[in-house]
Amino acid sequence: MSIHDYKLRIGDSWRAAEGDASFAAINPFDQATWARLPAASAADVDAAVAAARGAFDGGWGRSPGLLRATHLNRLAELLEADAERMAQLETTDNGKVIRETRVQMRFAARNYRYFAGWADKLHGETLPLDRPELLDYTTREPRGVAALVTSWNSPMAILANKLAPALAAGCTVVVKPSEVASVTTLEFAALCERAGFPPGVINVVTGGGEVGAALTGHAGIDLISFTGGTATGRAISRVAGDALKPVTLELGGKSANIVFDDASLEQAVTGAVAGIFAAAGQTCIAGSRLLVQRGLYDRVVERVCQRAAAIRLGDPRRDETEMGPVANPAQHARVLGFIERARRDGATLKVGGRAPDSAALQAGCFVEPTVFTDVAPDSELAREEVFGPVLAIIPFDSEDEAVAIANGTDYGLVAGVWTRDLARAHRMAGRLRVGSVWVNTYRASAAQAPFGGVKASGFGRERSHHALDEYLDIKNVMIDLGEELRDPFALRT
């Protein structure tokens, strides 16, 4: 297999990192090096920020919305046409099964189309004031150069959540993908070039945490959007706070999937299995806690365990594979560590719990689909994000108890509720301290629906028209239309 050497995208050129520094892209299925990526330096970050600033000041920040929409729609067309190749690259890079990465490419394209529709509709308001001789209006203006930092589990989908509204708003960007999965971001930058975006509007730098720190701490950055772990989110928030820069954080989760006695058993079990084992559990919205009311508890446990044990592990590039590896050896060790500590803490292992011993899988970072029962609500497994295919099933008796358990973590990203009782569904939606509630479904997404968390899951919103607010400032303009000069010491409000 040939190894492709990638370059940074800065301004109008593709260039090697300073000193030709590079690092390997590793396929988590077989641990083979399949690409080499540029390891950017602080000087490379400086150049990327300068290019973004030049493009913003040079016209993109004042460009007509129709022009931005035209480029965004063209980008969506190119991504749709290239979806299969991009999906194969992303699956090779992070181990997510091909069936899901194909869907994510189409969903990313949908986001670019959605925000293209907003690009020429970012109007302000005319405001009636108490004094009729004053004309007052607002404008919505792009904030400037945005640092977009994405994670390895869904690079293209997460980038679309940020880049689409940033471009629609008129911002320019410097993108820093995770060093674990950078290939599709660099390939996508080539699609952006073909879509006609002016040089410097979209720049990509790759490398480790030091590159992210150089970018988010750069004086030339006007706003930051980050998706990733809560610890890194806290560090970025401190940097942004010191510099008084706006920041959007989409962080971790420990989401509860709550099944009531009146729920459809098959529907709830399907939602529970998909909620935790899709993407090998490597998603911030994973339903890693399954809360089940006592009347349905035994049947749910039995069905979930049967389904988990039957999941087909294998090469994520093959259509028949249902779950691939976790993305890297460090994450593999981390997930197995959570499993071992849960067993020591007294939880009952029902299914899985180890790396598979199949010769075909031994080279990869595989963890069997794992199910625990007898999980204490205050235990590590019930409170901390594993980011792997590990499910904790917890019984409850009453609605109040379900709410208390669900809200009993530091996180607040999403929750699922399974019930036929519409009144209960509304009550639960109102009581759960999360950014999104799914009722009788799970892991559903839409470009029009806002996404984001509360508490340690972050703040700010992605997708929907609310995402545009993260990239726009509101300016107020007040004009005195009167002809006479008034007393400057008179009340002016």
CA distances from 15 to 5, 8, 11, 38, 206 (A): 11, 5, 10, 9, 12
Q: Which residues contact 202 (CB under 8 A, 6 or more apart)?
A: 9, 163, 167, 172, 173, 175, 189, 192
| 250 has catalytic annotation | yes
SS in 3 state form for 272-301?
Answer: HHHHHHHHHHCCCCCCCEEEEEHHHHHHHH
Q: Give the total residue count for the chain.
A: 493
| 171 has catalytic annotation | no
**Torsion angle of the four alpha carbons 379, 382, 388, 390, in this order, in degrees rounded to the nearest 10:** 90
Which residue in 90, 100, 187, 250 is the catalytic one? 250
In the numeric block, the tokens 């803490």 are attached to: 345
Point out which residues pair with 426 in neighbouring strands. Answer: none
- Checking 86-90 for CB contacts under 8 A at 24+ apart, the result is 86/156, 86/184, 86/187, 86/188, 88/317, 89/183, 89/184, 89/187, 90/155, 90/156, 90/181, 90/183, 90/184
In the numeric block, the tokens 């590079």 are attached to: 22
Which residue in 192, 284, 305, 365 is the catalytic one? 284
Q: What are phi and psi of 247, to 5 degrees?
A: -145, 140
Catalogue the active-site residues.
250, 284
